[in-house]
Structure 1
Amino acid sequence: MASSSLSEEELTLTVKWSGNEYTVRVCGDDSVGELKRRICQLTNVLPKRQKLLYPKLGSKLADDSVLLSHLPLKPSLKMTMIGTVEDDIIVDQVDSPEIIDDFELGQDESTDIKDKEVNKQKLRRRIYQYKIELRNPCREGKKLLVLDIDYTLFDHRSTAENPLELMRPYLHEFLSAVYAEYDIIIWSATSMKWVELKMGQLGVLNNPNYKITALLDHLAMITVHSDSRGPFDCKPLGLIWGQFPEFYSSKNTIMFDDLRRNFVMNPQNGLTIKPFRKAHANRDSDQELVKLTQYLLAIAELDDLSSLNHKNWESYNEDNFKRRRHS
Structure 2
Amino acid sequence: MAGVAGAGAASTSTSTPSSPEEEITLTVKWSGKEYTVRVCGDDTVGELKRRICQLTTVLPKRQKLLYPKLLPSKLADDTVLLSSVPFKPSQKMTMIGTMEDDIIVDPVESPEIVDDFEIAQDEAVEIKDKYANKLRRRVDQYKIELRNPCREGKKLLVLDIDYTLFDHRSTAENPLQLMRPFLHEFLTAAYAEYDIMIWSATSMKWVELKMGQLGVLSNPNYKITALLDHMAMITVQCESRGTFDCKPLGLIWAKFPEFYSSKNTIMFDDLRRNFVMNPQNGLIIKPFKKAHSSRDSDQELLKLTTYLLAIADLDDLSNLDHNSWQSFSEDNVKRRRHQ
Name the CA distance, whole Å, in 1 between partners of 2:40 and 2:221.
Answer: 44
Name the CA distance, whole Å, in 2 between partners of 1:16 and 1:169.
Answer: 46
Q: TM-score, normalized by length of structure 1?
A: 0.92
Q: TM-score, normalized by length of structure 2?
A: 0.89
The one of 84, 88, 96 equivalent to 2:103 is 88
2:38 maps to 1:58: no
- Give 1:99 shift: 1.1
Match of 2:116 in 1: 102
2:205 maps to 1:181: no
Match of 2:233 in 1: 221
Instruction: Give per-residue Cα distances to partners, 1:60-104, cap 9 Å, x unaligned.
Output: 1111111111111135653121011233342x3236421111111
SS in 2 for 1:93: coil
Q: AA paired with 1:15?
A: V
SS in 2 for 1:314: helix
Matched pairs, number: 316
Name the CA distance, whole Å, in 2 between partners of 1:146 and 1:81.
Answer: 34
> If each structure's helix is expressed as a fraction of its own residues, which one has the higher value?
1
Taking only the aligned residue pairs, the percentage that are identical comes to 82
- Runs (5+) with no aligned partner, structure 1: none
Match of 2:36 in 1: 23
SS in 1 for 2:99: coil
SS in 1 for 2:268: strand
Moved more, 16-25 or 216-225: 16-25
Match of 1:285 in 2: 297
- Give 1:106 shift: 1.9
> Aligned pair in 2 of structure 1 residues 306, 141: CA closer, same or farther (>3 Å)?
same
Match of 1:207 in 2: 219
Match of 1:247 in 2: 259
> Is the 8 Å Cα contact of residues 144 and 185 (structure 1) preserved in structure 2?
yes
- Runs (5+) with no aligned partner, structure 2: 1-17
Match of 2:180 in 1: 168
Name the CA distance, whole Å, in 1 between partners of 2:333 and 2:237.
Answer: 41
Moved more, 63-72 or 313-322: 313-322
Instruction: Give per-residue Cα distances to partners, 1:110-137, cap 9 Å, x unaligned.
Output: 2211221xx1111000000000000000
Name the CA distance, whole Å, in 1 between partners of 2:75 and 2:254.
Answer: 32
- Give 1:7 shift: 11
Name the CA distance, whole Å, in 2 between partners of 1:129 and 1:39.
Answer: 13
SS in 2 for 1:175: helix
Q: AA paired with 2:108?
A: V
The one of 274, 282, 286 equivalent to 2:286 is 274
Q: AA paired with 2:63?
A: Q
The one of 62, 69, 73 equivalent to 1:49 is 62
> Is the 8 Å Cα contact of residues 122 and 222 (structure 1) preserved in structure 2?
yes
- Give 1:58 shift: 2.4
Name the CA distance, whole Å, in 2 between partners of 1:52 and 1:14.
Answer: 14
